Amino acid sequence: EPEVTQTPSHQVTQMGQEVILRCVPISNHLYFYWYRQILGQKVEFLVSFYNNEISEKSEIFDDQFSVERPDGSNFTLKIRSTKLEDSAMYFCASSGLSDVRGYTFGSGTRLTVV
């Protein structure tokens, strides 16, 4: 079964530092997503990406966040200047063109901002 791969599994960073979370979506998928889950809370949508541009983003996804698909296989989420409240589990997901098959989630990156 194809998988979505995320690295690293756990990242600790100091407040104000930049972090890049990496994801390798399923190769024939066309839509890519980032979600986050603050400890004990629900999974929240951050951004969706299609055809090399953002197709939708939430209020959480402010100017401190950016996404990129630099080489046709990786899909990255960058947080420019991390805040304590950015500490969360970040999940990458991908899906095909149609919503019929659903979404495949990665195992997540736990980001801890200290």
Partner 1 sequence: AQSVSQHNHHVILSEAASLELGCNYSYGGTVNLFWYVQYPGQHLQLLLKYFSGDPLVKGIKGFEAEFIKSKFSFNLRKPSVQWSDTAEYFCAVNRRTGTASKLTFGTGTRLQVTL
Say whether residue 43 binds partner 1 (CB under 8 A): yes
Site for partner 1 in 52-91 (CB under 8 A): 56, 91
What are the distances in angstroms from CA 12 to CA 45, 77, 94, 111, 114?
22, 15, 25, 6, 7
Question: In this chain, which of 19, 23, 106, 113 binds partner 1, going by CB under 8 A?
Answer: 106
Say whether residue 31 binds partner 1 (CB under 8 A): yes
Would you say 105 and 4 are in contact if contact means Cβ atoms under 8 Å apart? yes
- Comparing C-alpha atoms, which of 90, 74, 85 is closest to residue 35? 90
We find the least distance from the C-beta atom of residue 81 to partner 1, in angstroms, to be 25
Q: Which residues of this protein are in contact with partner 1, per CB under 8 A? A: 30-31, 33, 35, 41-45, 48, 50, 56, 91, 93, 95-100, 102-103, 105-108
